[in-house]
Structure 1
């Protein structure tokens, strides 16, 4: 398997045709998987915002005050307002905002970015990353994964994850297959779109590298059942249920 970045992409702005910019720089094969950082998808879709245009509501002001009391750092209630608007649920209010986005991804601050946004204060995640991936996939003629980076419980550091995908299943399901000793696998479901996103992140990197689109070539999904169930439902997510009952001590 080969993983390489699409070179020389310009700074992406609202209305840019991402698919055309990629096709101008690399000759794609139909079975390539194109991994696209959510930052450039959001920029192309105009998902930027200035804090001057935001009015904080009562709940956002309360959230900001709580965070400031816990962390000792001033928090802008307008930022809290945007986080609330971009979230379907607020799982933790302190010592940081852990949210569920409207498309199901659980992340800090609704995935809102304050870096690499030259013409605005905030960069929001794509409104529907799977719809974004589908549109790119149709234009490019290849599977597409929209990626983001986030931290992990119980481990230091961040890694790439998929937040939208099209043209391939999210997971390959090994259940019912046999291991090397002939035992039937009962629980193994491999989140391949996350693994592809992590591989892409090794090449695209972080910071000012400017290589937000990566091609994964010769990836073989194999003869397995597929599934698009990537985000856990609340009723079978024991960690989320525990978080909802927990409160950070004052």
Structure 2
């Protein structure tokens, strides 16, 4: 399997076609997996915003004050308000804001970015990353005549571990997971629990070559990945009624209040 970054992409602006920009610079082949950073998808969709767009509510003021007390430095309540408005639910208010986005992803600050946003204070995640992936995939097929998969990615922290890694927010042309249940291990024992989140693993592989910071390479291509003869699933986000961690965080937050 080969993973490489797409070089030479310009600064993406509102109204740009991500598919067209990639098609002009990448020699894609059928079966490639194109990992596209959510930052450029959001920029093309005009998801930039200013802090002034989010007058702080009482809740935002309380959240900012609580985090400031822990961190020992002042926090802008308007940022907390932006997170509130971008979220379906706030799971924790301190020591950081852990939010459920409206498309199901759970992440710190609802994934709102404050770096590499020319002309604005904030960059919000795409409203519907899977729809974005589908449209980019269709655009690449139109421009290059290729059948590829597309994953819209972001970087996210990990419970119980230091550091961040790439994760999938939306995907098209590939199942989210490879389901090994019902298959056998080397001893002939039937697997009953193994479901491999391949879109997350591919997003992480792409992130190794796109990098962070000022690299300016927000698109990676994974070539030679073989899904294999396995059942596929598009379930990636754990159902709320089976999410014991989410329930524990709600209970913890309730006790703190």
TM-score in same-fold range (> 0.5): yes
Structure 2 partner of 1:217: 223
The size of the alignment, in residue pairs, is 250
Structure 2 partner of 1:22: 22
Structure 2 partner of 1:166: 172
Structure 2 partner of 1:155: 161
Provide the C-alpha distance between the structure 2 equivalents of 1:46 and 1:165, rounded to a whole number of angstroms: 20
Structure 2 partner of 1:232: 238
Normalization by structure 2: what TM-score? 0.95
Unaligned residue ranges in structure 2 (runs of 5+): 142-147
* Mapping of residues 48-59 of structure 1, within 5 Å: 48-59=48-59
The alpha-carbon deviation at position 118 of structure 1 amounts to 1.4
The alpha-carbon deviation at position 166 of structure 1 amounts to 0.6
Deviant stretches of 4+, over 4 Å: none
Whether 2:106 is the aligned partner of 1:113: answer no
Unaligned residue ranges in structure 1 (runs of 5+): none
Provide the C-alpha distance between the structure 2 equivalents of 1:249 and 1:83, rounded to a whole number of angstroms: 20
Partner SS state of residue 120, structure 1: coil
Give CA-to-partner distance per residue, 1:188-242, whole Å, 9 cap, x none. 0000000000000000001101110001111110111100110011211111111
Provide the C-alpha distance between the structure 2 equivalents of 1:72 and 1:208, rounded to a whole number of angstroms: 28
Partner SS state of residue 246, structure 1: helix
The alpha-carbon deviation at position 52 of structure 1 amounts to 2.0
Partner SS state of residue 219, structure 1: coil
Structure 2 partner of 1:99: 99
Give CA-to-partner distance per residue, 1:98-125, whole Å, 9 cap, x none. 0000000000000000001111000000
Q: Aligned Cα RMSD in Å?
A: 1.2
Provide the C-alpha distance between the structure 1 equivalents of 2:206 and 2:149, rounded to a whole number of angstroms: 14
Structure 2 partner of 1:86: 86
The alpha-carbon deviation at position 62 of structure 1 amounts to 1.8
Provide the C-alpha distance between the structure 2 equivalents of 1:236 and 1:249, rounded to a whole number of angstroms: 23
Whether 2:8 is the aligned partner of 1:8: answer yes
Provide the C-alpha distance between the structure 1 equivalents of 2:222 and 2:115, rounded to a whole number of angstroms: 26
Provide the C-alpha distance between the structure 2 equivalents of 1:249 and 1:44, rounded to a whole number of angstroms: 40
Whether 2:77 is the aligned partner of 1:77: answer yes
The alpha-carbon deviation at position 154 of structure 1 amounts to 0.7
Structure 1 partner of 2:145: none
The alpha-carbon deviation at position 249 of structure 1 amounts to 5.9
* Mapping of residues 113-192 of structure 1, within 5 Å: 113-141=113-141, 142-192=148-198
